[in-house]
Amino acid sequence: MPEIAARPYAYSFEPTTTALVVIDMQRDFIERGGFGEALGNDVSRLAAIVPTVRDLLAWARAHRLRVVHTREGHRPDLADCPPAKRLRGRPSLRIGDAGPMGRVLVDGQPGNDIVPVLAPRAGETVIVKPGKGAFYATKLDVLLRSQRITHLILAGVTTEVCVQTTMREANDRGYDCLLVEDATASYFPEFKQATLAMVHAQGGIVGWTAPFAAVRASLP
């Protein structure tokens, strides 16, 4: 069985029962003029991981791992967006407002699309999620179990919010999870580092972490 040199110890996985989950690599979070910038963030920190995520996707596709993409998005009527979520904080744009890339975090709008270089291919699953975690109010768990997936390799943004939430949800459901360290990012670098430490602390209480170079080296 292949092994990835990871923290806190080697991560063993079988490619046929492993899926790559790429979380929320969408324009609203990564490009100028989107929701991330409206919240006052430096989106270039997220854009910096796009080349690594691209290479990770290429690796997964070459070795025929199942690939799942997620997008955080809401229905046009915002019926699946609680007021507590929409009204929190004081951003220049709120969820559902019209911005430079269409209505913010609304499914079907240009800003809700995954950045073009990371676009899903035919046959790859796209999960549109109304919450932070990819398992909340979606069919992700049913889909993974129907495909006999037991291991997840995760990437995407942001590390401490949607990525960590998804990883903890997956851990509670019995999946063995590895987070690719240089294929995830936060608007706050210190939050990313703290999340990586939380994940692999106490013998991997949430899971494993490893750089992409170690992931790539695990399979010829």
Q: Assign 90 a pLDDT band (cuts: 50, 70, 90).
A: confident
97 is catalytic: no
Q: Which one, of 46, 21, 30, 20, lies nearest residue 115 by Cα?
A: 30
* Helical axes 189-204 vs 164-172, angle rounded to 10°: 20
Please tell me the distance from the alpha carbon of residue 118 to that of residue 37, in angstroms, as a whole number.
Answer: 20
pLDDT digits (tens, 9 = 90+) for 5-47: 999 999 999 999 999 999 999 999 999 988 999 889 999 999 9
What is the per-residue DSSP string for 180-196?
EEEEEE-SSHHHHHHHH
**Mean local confidence (pLDDT), 103-130:** 97
Q: Which of 24, 113, 176, 182 is catalytic?
A: 24
Q: Assign 91 a pLDDT band (cuts: 50, 70, 90).
A: confident
Beta bridge partners of 68: 21, 125
Please tell me the distance from the alpha carbon of residue 183 to that of residue 180, in angstroms, as a whole number.
Answer: 5
Q: What is the pLDDT of residue 92?
A: 87
177 is catalytic: no
**pTM score, two decimals?**
0.97
129 is catalytic: yes
pLDDT digits (tens, 9 = 90+) for 134-169: 999 999 999 999 999 999 999 999 999 999 999 999
Q: Which of 28, 162, 176, 182 is catalytic?
A: 162
Instruction: Identify which has the larger pLDDT, 91 or 134.
Output: 134
Query: Is 90 exceeded by the pLDDT of residue 114?
Result: yes
Please tell me the distance from the alpha carbon of residue 213 to that of residue 183, in angstroms, as a whole number.
Answer: 11
And the tokens for 27?
């324009």
Pairing of strands 151-157, 18-23: parallel
pLDDT digits (tens, 9 = 90+) for 168-212: 999 999 999 999 999 999 999 999 999 999 999 999 999 999 999
Cα–Cα distance list, 208 to 57, 130, 200 (Å): 19, 26, 5
Q: Which of 28, 81, 129, 132 is catalytic?
A: 129
Q: Which one, of 173, 182, 183, lies nearest residue 207 by Cα?
A: 173
Average pLDDT over the chain, rounded to whole?
Answer: 97
Asked if residues 24 and 155 have their Cβ atoms less than 8 Å apart, the reply is no
